[in-house]
Structure 1
Amino acid sequence: DKECWDYKGGKEPYGWRMRKSDQPFFAVVNIGNSHESRAHGKVDNTRHDPAKMQLHSYHPDLPVIRQNYAKYADAVQDMDRGVQRCLDALKEDGLYEDTIIIYNSDHGGVMARSKRFLYASGVHCPLVIRIPEKFKHLYPASSRGMTVDRLVSFVDMPKTWLSLAGAEIPHTFQGTVFLGKGTEPEPRYHVAFRERADERLDHVRMIRDARYAYHKNYMPFAPAGHHLAYLWKAPATAAWEQHHRAGKTDSVTGRFFRPRVSEEFYDNDHDFDNVRNLIDTPEHQARIEIMKQALRRKQLELYDSGLLPEKMRDRRAAQHNLTIYEMVRDKKIYPLETYLDAADLALLRNAKNLDTFVESMSHSDEGMRWWAIVGIHLLGNEATPAIRVLERALEDESHEVRTMAAWSLVKLGRTSKAVACLEELLFNGSQCRSMVHNVLDWMGEPAFPLVKKYMKEGGSKKGRYGISILGRVAELQGW
């Protein structure tokens, strides 16, 4: 949104130079040298030595991956030089000692499994603040150059910048002030979320304190590392996937491409790469329970809108002529507590709950039927007694429920009616086209005949950011 800025960008990279004489300013300088796109393309002839790169433990040690790390290290170095040019411009304009300088990124790294994901390498961001001597009353520590051990989230920043400027803070602002005389108590937790990325569906919530992180995967049947056209433009990502498809990854380097567990728990102090899931460790159970309850309270406080599949949520809001913001605040239309309970039950993967899921498949609320079908699906072969219920669900009013019921039946070996249902959704239009395409990809080989037919009959191989989901399936199969 450029309308809120006095200077909306142009040839002058430093907006403060376009202000009136002696006018106070708040300027944002975006330095794109280290954008994710800088990790794309050829990875040879780098300034940094690939052999000296320190790889995350979840990446296999392959030459291309080392080269891609080195290429991105070059990009970060270029970005550093851009920061220096900005600082030099402030000095040249006589503003350096009058300006509070904030340096931060908008996410963690860009190599696969960082940006877009809720592991530490994706959500842990640099934040460096320089406060001139004349404003030393704002120092968050006793002296310059110190590290402040405090949880800070992006949601804290607008409120903090307004506080530093002495401006009025709207009551609608979330977050806490972390700098200056208006500093508020440190929050105990940081909360993060993951939803659809481009055309790929997902649903994850994460809460962490200063040390530990609890993740809840609401779509654990999908791998974290399903193909995303833009992410795969980095040679390291493609090489990693190829290595996995060749059967050469292990339990750590291959996990990214496999379906997930329902919950994860990590000690960030001793496992920054988040590869040792401690969710079942006895000594952490009390802490895990506390953090699970804290996450639930935060979801209720923020009216978490993700407990319905995206298109189902859109349909419901449109049906009531409401915005999503309005809809999720109406408990009759969007009973969030009930959905959270239903989701928790589904994610337990306990066959003792099968009767409850079967009963919920007759619920008038398609959201409840959604979580029931997820619960049945996650039971795998233990869901066999529900086959008739699954077959009836192939005609559910909700196409999301139909799609998951079909996939569940395929997993149970009952493919005929299931594939016919998916074919109908694929070729004759669906309320949830993206979900149908995602599920066909996740299904693997049983979906190949449908995908091949789709491509033969003119299905597009082109997606918004590159090859489409089904186009990618066809490409891998050589169609």
Structure 2
Amino acid sequence: MHKKNIKPSLLFFFFMIMLSAKSQEIGKQPPNIVWIVSEDNSKHYLKLFDDNGVETPNIANLAEEGILFTRAFSNAPVCSVARSTIISGSYAPRIGAQYHRKSKIVPMPDSIDMFPAYLRKAGYYTTNNSKEDYNLIKGEDVWDDSSKNATWKNREKGQPFFHVFNIGTTHESGIHFQKEDIETIATVTSEASFKVQPTHPETKIFKYTNARYRDKMIKMDKEVGQVVQELEKEGLLENTFIFYYGDHGGVLPGSKGYLYETGLHVPLVVRIPKKYKNLVNWDSGSKTGRFVSFVDLAPTVLHLAGVNVPRQMDGRPFLSNNLKHEIPETQTITYAYADRFDEKYDMVRSIRKGKYKYIRNFQPFNPDALMNEYRYKQLAYKQWKSLYEQGKLNKIQAKFFQPKAAEMLFDLEKDPYETNNLAKNSKLKHTLIDLRKHLDHWMMNMPDLSFYPEYHLLEHAVENPVAFGQQHKQDIIRYHKVSQLMLQNFSGVKHKLESYLQSKDPWERYWALIVCSSFRKKAKTLTPLVKSMAAQDPKRINRVRAAQFLGLIKKENPAPVMLDALYATDRPMEALLILNMITVLNSQDLNYNFFIDPQKIDPKVLEEQLVAARIKYLNN
């Protein structure tokens, strides 16, 4: 019999039998678990976590009755990828869920279910109010109710529940205001009560945006309090763990969508009910610097509920009665990933270990500021770009609009906004190599599917991304090895690059071309070989990559090759990748002009909204 056909009362009876051993062990019914999730806010705007934030008394009350995690991190700086990581307990680049907005939904990995399904099988009533936004195929047995009306109140009497309450007040769209609003809509937060972060200009627009965003935090905190009050009114607090966290970083420019701390470092508080203190080795009012990543949330909930954690999940529980307070080195590491966000492609990976943060830009010629239509709806983004074009930004503020270093290393205690790249600091060479090795091992151990372009994964991996990754693990390791050549001196890797550019493997050639573009004019001696590839490489995307290199070093107009490839493809996501490269050459002060004729583009390609958005931007 399929579980969804079982009557609730019978399901609850089965649950009691299944968890009898656990109940005897702890002498209680399994606890209720509630998540209160606020969208789009990093820890930087709550005084509980950062002096530059505002007071959030309701969240502070939760912390007084539980644990405040000062080092909690999303594994991705955007909602669908972050939420896919949470619901699966798995790293997105391993399971093919790393792209935002999804072009295709991929299956759950390794025959596991979304974690609330395990709670349901154990008799929990599972509800979600109401955001999902997964890049993964959802099973029929995940939620008893996932809707704007979802509530724990419809459960069987005495049945434990898992409830998610999503707060959209702090979402990015909340600061898509008009210029006249600055004069007509006053903020509760004083513009003198905080500092504008050093990567931003101190203008009226940035100050007002900061203040208005902090107002959203104050409103969100009240909504957190309302959920807690409702639980208290029903006499449920003594049986309920309450998690409050932000679903990824904030939305001020350069945060959401980027692997900086403002895009990843989130607030996290867990209220511990007195009745279940024996499940957690912490006292009320505790604060810990133990690193927590989103990949750990699912295993933690399952563990608290007395449900076995599937071994295929990548995360591990961070609440337990046998965790030592001393923080081992393995608990001071977090990984993160950024690939395509809407129409904007990039490939960035990061690791934070203790106070040091290492960021690996696999396509460093892509500036952070590369156009993303939704981001630039915000007035602060528009002004930032305008001030850069006018030459009115200082060196730190201007970095966002310039090519990046392939490797970046930051001391976050001294430099919390990641303004000073220490990758070439000889005193930190050991730290750099250590973090690089950790990141490389993590990427190759998955393995990381993004070493293939998205369109290739859609054609060859989407039915079972994990199996595809395992079948091609040695290939991915080779492509990663090619990509690492950009970290060395060009003179030392020139001959290797020449060999890879002539490889029979098209993806070795692909990554060799990306490495050439990362070196830019240092690799100009390879121009004849790359010119030949632009004209006749059997792989269309490699002809485009070759043209991109020639454009970056100002050796040849890339437009003819790129436009020919764009008009020839019938793959929407290949077209989007080509358009991304065109956008790079249309920015960065390179000033190549492209006029794209939509009538020459395959109709199937034009059906993709992200493609249409890119073409509209470029032609305007």
**TM-score scaled by length of structure 1:** 0.91
Instruction: Give 1:224 shift.
Output: 1.2
Aligned partner of 1:363 in structure 2 is 503
In 1, Cα distance between the equivalents of 2:281 and 2:201?
40
Aligned twin of 2:398: 254
Moved more, 369-378 or 304-313: 304-313
Query: Is 1:197 aligned to 2:341, yes or no?
Result: yes
Alpha carbons of structure 1 residues 188 and 50: separation in structure 2 relative to 1, 3 Å: closer
Match of 2:577 among 424, 435, 439: 435
Q: How far is 1:2 from its partner?
A: 7.7
Matched, 1:341 2:481: yes
- Quick one: distance in 1 between partners of 2:607 and 2:467? 35
CA shift at 1:182, angstroms? 5.4
Higher relative contact order (CA 8 A, sep 6+): 2
Superposition pairs of residues 416-427 of structure 1, within 5 angstroms: 418-427=558-567
Q: 1:124-163, aligned counterparts within 5 Å? A: 124-141=265-282, 143-163=283-303
Measure the CA separation in 2 of the matches of 1:85 and 1:181: 30
Match of residue 252 from structure 2: 111
Tell whether 2:183 aligns with 1:38: no
Write the letter of the residue equivalent to 1:232. Answer: Y
Task: Select the residue among 142, 145, 149 that pairs with 1:11.
Answer: 149
| Paired residue secondary structure (1:27) | strand
Counterpart residue type for residue 34 of structure 1: T
Cross-structure match for 2:42: none
CA distance in 1, matches of 2:322, 2:468: 34
Partner Cα separation in structure 2 for residue 76 and residue 132 of structure 1: 25
Q: Per-residue deviation at 1:6? A: 1.1
User: Quick check: which one's strand share is greater?
Assistant: 2
Provide, for residues 118-148 of structure 1, a one-character-per-residue CA deviation record: whole Å limited to 9, x for no partner.
111111111101112222223443x321211
* TM superposition shift of 1:271: 1.2
Partner of 1:454: 597
Superposition pairs of residues 58-137 of structure 1, within 5 angstroms: 58-137=199-278
Across the aligned residues of Structure 1 and Structure 2, the Cα RMSD in angstroms comes to 2.5
**Is the 8 Å Cα contact of residues 281 and 321 (structure 2) preserved in structure 1?**
no
Q: CA deviation at 1:297?
A: 1.2
Query: Which of 167, 182, 201 in structure 1 is aligned with 2:307?
Result: 167
Q: 1:192 to 1:204 in 2, by over 3 A?
A: same
For the residue of structure 1 that corresponds to 2:316, the secondary structure is coil
Q: What is the CA distance between 1:251 and its match in structure 2?
A: 1.4
Give 2:567's aligned amino acid: F
The 3-state SS of whatever aligns with 1:292 is helix
Query: Map of 1:364-379 to 2, 5 A cutoff?
Result: 364-379=504-519
The answer to whether the Cα contact below 8 Å between 1:65 and 1:236 also exists between their aligned partners in 2 is yes
Residue range with higher mean Cα deviation, 357-366 or 47-56: 47-56
Structure 2 vs 1, CA of residues 461 and 447 (structure 1 numbering), >3 Å: closer, same or farther?
Answer: farther
The whole-number CA distance in structure 1 between the counterparts of 2:482 and 2:593 is: 34
1:235 maps to 379
Residue 456 of structure 1 deviates from its aligned partner by 9.3
Q: Secondary structure at the match of 1:287?
A: helix
**Amino acid in the other structure paired with 1:104:** Y
Whichever residue aligns with residue 443 of structure 1, its letter is L
Deviations 1:65-86 (A, max 9, x none): 1111111111111111110100
Deviations 1:178-213 (A, max 9, x none): 112254865342111111111110001101112111
How far is the alpha carbon of 1:461 from its aligned partner? 11
Aligned to 1:389: 529
Deviation at 1:399, TM superposition (A): 2.2
CA distance in 2 between counterparts of 1:449 and 1:455 reads 16
Q: Displacement, 1:361? A: 1.5
- Counterparts of 1:290-369 in structure 2 under 5 Å? 290-317=434-461, 323-331=464-472, 335-348=475-488, 350-369=490-509
Percentage of pairs with the same residue: 26
- Partner of residue 278 from structure 1, selected from 422, 425, 428: 422
Secondary structure class of the residue paired with 1:170 = coil
2:619 aligned partner? 474
User: CA 1:24–1:182 in structure 2 vs 1: closer, same or farther (change >3 Å)?
Assistant: farther
Q: Number of matched residues?
A: 466
1:48 corresponding residue in structure 2: 189
Question: Is the CA contact (8 Å cut-off) linking 1:455 and 1:474 kept in structure 2?
Answer: no
CA gap of 1:67–1:263, structure 2 versus 1, over 3 A, is same
- Could you tell me which amino acid in structure 2 is paired with residue 69 of structure 1? N
Tell me which amino acid in the other structure corresponds to 1:56.
Q
The answer (yes or no) to whether the contact 1:176–1:187 under 8 Å persists in 2 is: no
| Deviation (angstroms), 1:467 | 7.7
Specify whether residues 9 and 461 from structure 1 end up closer, same or farther in structure 2 by C-alpha distance, changes over 3 A only.
closer
3-state secondary structure, aligned to 2:395: coil
Could you say what secondary structure the match of 2:562 adopts?
Answer: helix
| 1:289 CA displacement | 0.8
- How far apart are the structure 2 equivalents of 1:428 and 1:341? 31
Q: 1:252 to 1:229 in 2, by over 3 A?
A: same
143, 149, 159: which one aligns with 1:23: 159
Q: State which of 407, 410, 415 in structure 2 corresponds to 1:266.
A: 410
Tell me which residue corresponds to 2:545.
Answer: 404
| Contact 1:346–1:372 (Cα < 8 Å) also in 2 | no
Asked whether the 8 Å contact 2:290–2:332 carries over to 1, the reply is no
CA–CA distance in 2 between the matches of 1:31 and 1:54?
Answer: 26
Distance change >3 Å, CA 461–CA 197, structure 1 → 2: same
Look up the match of 1:179: 319
Are the counterparts in 2 of residues 461 and 468 from structure 1 also a CA contact under 8 Å?
Answer: no
Give the letter aligned to residue 469 of structure 1. Answer: R
**Structure 1 Cα separation of the partners of residues 426 and 373 of structure 2:** 40
Say if 1:212 and 1:163 are closer, same or farther in 2 by CA, change over 3 A: same
In 2, the alpha carbon distance for the partners of 1:308 and 1:466 equals 20
Q: For 1:249 and 1:397, locate their aligned partners in 2 and report how far apart those are by CA, in whole Å.
A: 44
Aligned partners of 1:434 and 1:113: how far apart in 2? 22
Q: How much has 1:465 moved relative to structure 2?
A: 6.9
Q: Matches of 2:461 and 2:280 in 1, distance apart?
A: 46
Aligned-pair CA distance for 1:315: 4.2
TM-score after normalising by structure 2:
0.71
Report the 3-state secondary structure (helix = DSSP H, G, I; strand = E; otherwise coil) of the residue aligned with 1:52.
Answer: coil
Aligned mates of 2:143, 2:446 — CA distance in 1: 28
Change (3 A) 1:384 1:9: closer
SS in structure 2 at match of 1:34: coil
